Chains A and B, each alone.
Chain A
Amino acid sequence: MPSTREIRRRIRSTKNVGQITRAMEMVAASRMRRAQRNVESARPYSERMMRICQQLLRRVVDKTTNPNLFRVEEDIHSVGLIFITPDRGLCGSMVANILRQTAVFVREQKQQGHEVAVYAIGKKGRDFARRTRLNLIAEKTQISDPPKLTDILGVAINAIEDFVDGKHQEIYISYTDFVNTLVQRPTIRRILPVEIEDIDDHDQGLATLDYTYEPSQKEVLDELLPRIVESIVYQAVLESIASEHSARMVAMRNATNNSKELVRDLTLTYNKLRQSNITQEITEIATSAVAMEKDRPWHR
């Protein structure tokens, strides 16, 4: 049984921890609101980029004019992985989830005899790549908040160029998709070569004719295709940041609630112990008083 003083000390330190997690919760909450706003207002742009890209895939008849970003190789030696993670932890299971998913992906690729090269955005992913001795080609940490496109451009362009140069036959992206404050989904998908999605009936009728390209097909595609990939990576970073702050806020709220509960339990234990100490002391005094009376009957 611990002493009352020990319990008092634990109550005090638990309260302190609770105050800190409460402060962190509030910071995360305000960042979360902004990050969620950012991710949602950026979605229309990247969705339309993807739509144009999908249209292009069906229309580009002469694929030789820009074979690079559409090129599908049968023989895969090496895949690139753009790995987007938070810089910091203390956000619940989010980092563990994305790392676990990525580890599974890497293992599967290696089983198929593919090399995996990592382009890391965020410290946790970079550290993971180093720890597991993956081939780390580019890294970017300390993304500003809100993130700027230029923050991630270096890594994205690096990956695109390596793909165009034929160093990798496929490029994947691994990030945490933001669903809502309580749900964030770790996601891995291929971004290069771009996959053709199923199209709805509305577009099907229109998809027969190729675009007119102005000034020329080559010029338009050379400008547009890297922009599409950049927009995918940028959107993924926004999703990841919104997920991070949401996960952190929820984790900190749980921690704050836990500390309150702990304090309640400890206070109860403390009071019980104090009570029993007092009772014991009184009993001791009373007993000794009685005992002493027995020893000295002449005082009666």
Chain B
Amino acid sequence: MTIKLEIVTAEQVVLIDEIDQLNAPTKDGRVGILPKHTPLLTILDIGELDIIKGGERNAYAIAGGFMEVLPDRITILSDTVERADDIDEQRAEEARVRAEEVLRQSDVSQEDVIAAESELRLALTRLRVSQLKRHSR
């Protein structure tokens, strides 16, 4: 028994596949989706997306978005989704340093702090996803 997963960004179709299980970060915490799930519409948070298919686990970094779950299909609409292989660790590291720099300063506006915080979380997620991939090899 599998469930169809579609991950789409405004620029491209990232993935269309039949999968066994999906673990996704929603605003209320992580959820696991199996086939025949009840219809669900939810807002995704920054975090890692775990796709389990045939005993194999694949991680994606996602920068928030929407997820629609129907019994036979999951649709994820997001602004940015990256495969572990596509993540540039060096750039993620630089982004992390940059975001931390902003957070350390005291004279930044509220919006800048919020922006930097989500930058930092995205960078950390990228690093974690990318490292997960390396360890599993």
Contacts and interface: CB of A to CB of B under 8 A. Distances in A.
Interface of A: 41-42, 44-45, 48-49, 51-52, 55-56, 59, 149, 206, 209-215, 219-220, 223-224, 227, 231, 234
Contacts of A56: 41
B38 interface: yes
Given A41-B11, A45-B9, A149-B10, A212 B38 contact: yes
Interface residues of B, number: 24
Contacts of B42: 213-215, 220
Interface in B11-39: 11-13, 26-28, 31, 38-39
B40 A49 contact: no
A211 B41 contact: yes
Contacts of B12: 41, 44
Given A42-B11, A209-B38, A212-B41, A224 B66 contact: yes
Nearest to B12: A41
Nearest to B6: A48
User: Mostly helix, strand, loop or mixed at chain B's interface?
Assistant: strand
Contact of A52 (B9, B11, B28, B68): B68
A42 B12 CA distance: 6
B66 A209 contact: no
A215 B41 contact: no
Interface in B70-105: 70-72, 75, 77
B71 A51 contact: no
Contacts of B71: 206
B43 interface: yes
A83 B118 CA distance: 35
Contacts of A231: 10
Contacts of A215: 27-28, 42-43
B49 to A, nearest CB: 16
B124 interface: no
Contacts of B38: 209, 212
B77 A45 contact: yes
B39 A209 contact: yes
B52 interface: no
A42 B40 contact: no
B75 A51 contact: yes
22 contacts: A41-B11, A42-B11, A44-B8, A44-B13, A45-B10, A45-B77, A48-B8, A55-B68, A59-B39, A206-B71, A209-B38, A210-B39, A211-B68, A213-B40, A214-B26, A215-B42, A219-B43, A220-B66, A223-B43, A224-B41, A224-B66, A234-B10
Given A211-B41, A220-B43, 16 more contacts: A41-B12, A42-B10, A44-B8, A48-B8, A48-B75, A48-B77, A52-B68, A206-B39, A206-B71, A211-B40, A212-B38, A213-B40, A215-B28, A220-B41, A220-B42, A227-B66
